[in-house]
Amino acid sequence: MSIRALKGFKDILPDEAGVWQHIEATAREVFHRFGFTEIKVPILEKTELFARSIGEATDIVEKEMYSFTDRNGESITMRPEGTASVLRAFIEHGLQVKLPVQKLYTIGPMFRHERPQKGRLRQFHQMSVEVLGLDHPLLDAEVIAMGWLLLDELGLSVSLQINSLGCPACRPAYKEALLSFLAARQDKVCEDCQRRSSTNPLRVLDCKSAHCQEQYQAAPSILDHLCPDCADHFRRTRAGLDLLAIPYQVNNFMVRGLDYYCRTTFELLTDALGAQSAVGAGGRYDGLVEQLGGPKNTPGIGFALGMERLVLLLSEQQPSAGLSQQADLFVAALGEAAGAKAFALLHLLRKKGVRVAMDLAGRSLKSQMKQADRVNARYVLIMGEEELAANEAVLRDMASKEQSSLSLAPALDQVCAELIKKLN
């Protein structure tokens, strides 16, 4: 019996690669426009890093992490998200010394042991960005605007929801208000929510049960409990979005699944993927660098976009996105002598940057023309025995069907130069 991939782990096949590359290339280009540089961090980290940043009483740390003891008896974890690792690297290498504001992005696989569904996998990919060293509200607007612009350039329309989670000065009072609201309703909510009420009360607002959500309609709003500084920060963040004409809805019940968030949080949502409605999400995490042992007063903000969900949306909304010409030219050679000449010509063309293919096995002309179609070649150069005897090859434009001849008499690098002229 053959071995299959693990449940929730997926191969990205050649047919899909174009869309993935298109999304990644667009993202990099947009991130660079905003002054971000790439950082690459390891997939494995000490388990403690995630417990200390994401929070012990979160779904991710409680039940979704791939953690194991390695051969030295150390508990390590396959990263479930990118922020913790990027911050660890930022602190470990003292990056703040080099530049007061660091704008970093990273792209790669993440691992969470959840129930696989459409747009929800156990190995999935995120493009995530972090800005460290600044807490200006216009930065929040700018970071959100970058995510918005990227999705716009990909041709995707999403909606934006924002909220403020306050700060350690004002959240405790809100927690109290929420707790007394919940205390009166313990028998009306699910078991998970009853448990969360004592471990992590804000998280109840994130419950997926419609019945619980109905109860929470009347819950107190965090926005009525913000301290003056947080209220001002939220007001100026929204004003920043208004300046950029980016539409948003304020959702005062959006809490996000990671403990480290404070002040601005946001989600980019679609209604095209069923329950998997978030294509991206993020927020501010001002205390996190210090909490991980880094320098004091290093505020931060970031977001992550889910690649699989973007790929699904793009393949549904624009099936041709990311499709590209796989070859500029296919050289169809027949017979050993022509094959040898074509083989040498191919290498010269590739050195000059031409994407070119041939059939090394030298099958029939009919079969080679089929192969040329399959790689979507713009031109085919036919080098048959007859053509070779006359020292000429035939160049066919596959779209217009026009043909012209190419002399094979000169030295091969001259033939190559002539051919390139005809291709352009």
Q: Which residues bind ligand ATP (CB under 6 A)?
A: 81, 112, 114, 119-121, 124, 126, 257, 276, 278-281, 304, 306, 308-309
Nearer to ligand ATP, 81 or 259 (CB): 81
Q: Residue 121 or residue 246: which is nearer to ligand ATP going by CB? A: 121
For the bound state, the minimum distance from the C-beta of residue 397 to ligand ATP, rounded and expressed in Å, comes to 43
Least distance to ligand ATP, CB of residue 309, Å: 5
Task: Taking the CA atoms of 48, 49, 52 and 57 in sequence, report the sign of the dihedral they define.
Answer: negative
Nearer to ligand ATP (CB atom), residue 178 or residue 254: 254
E strands, 220-310, in order:
249-250, 262-269, 278-284, 300-306
Decide whether 276 or 376 has the Cβ nearer to ligand ATP: 276
For residue 191, what are the CA distances in angstroms to 115, 128, 300, 367?
19, 33, 34, 64
Residues 6+ apart with CB under 8 A from 209: 189, 190, 193
Q: Tell me which residue of 305, 293, 242 sits closest to 269, measured CA to CA.
A: 305
Closest CA to 8 of 132, 133, 160, 111: 111
End-to-end Cα, the chain, rounded Å: 51
Of 96 and 213, nearer to ligand ATP (C-beta) is 213
Backbone angles phi, psi at 307, to 5 degrees: -60, -45
In the bound state with ligand ATP, the residue whose beta carbon lies nearer, of 200 and 368, is 200
- Residue 317 or 326: the one with the smaller Cβ distance to ligand ATP is 317
CB 48 → ligand ATP: shortest distance, Å?
Answer: 19
Whether residue 38 contacts residue 337, with contact meaning beta carbons closer than 8 Å, is answered with no
Angle between helical axes of 14-33 and 307-317 (0-180°, round to 10) = 110
Instruction: State the minimum distance, in angstroms, from the CB of residue 115 to ligand ATP.
Output: 9
| C-alpha 370: how far from chain center | 36
CB of 90 to ligand ATP, least distance (A): 19
Q: Measuring CA to CA, how many Å separate 310 from each of 18, 31, 107, 279, 282?
A: 13, 17, 14, 7, 16
Largest Cα–Cα distance of the chain, in whole Å? 94
Instruction: Give me the least distance between CB of 284 and ligand ATP, in Å please.
Output: 14
- Shortest separation between residue 80's beta carbon and ligand ATP, angstroms: 8
In the complex, minimum distance from the CB of residue 114 to ligand ATP, in angstroms, rounded to a whole number: 5
**Which residue lies nearest ligand ATP, judged by its C-beta?**
306
User: Please, which residue, 138 or 207, has the CB nearer to ligand ATP?
Assistant: 207
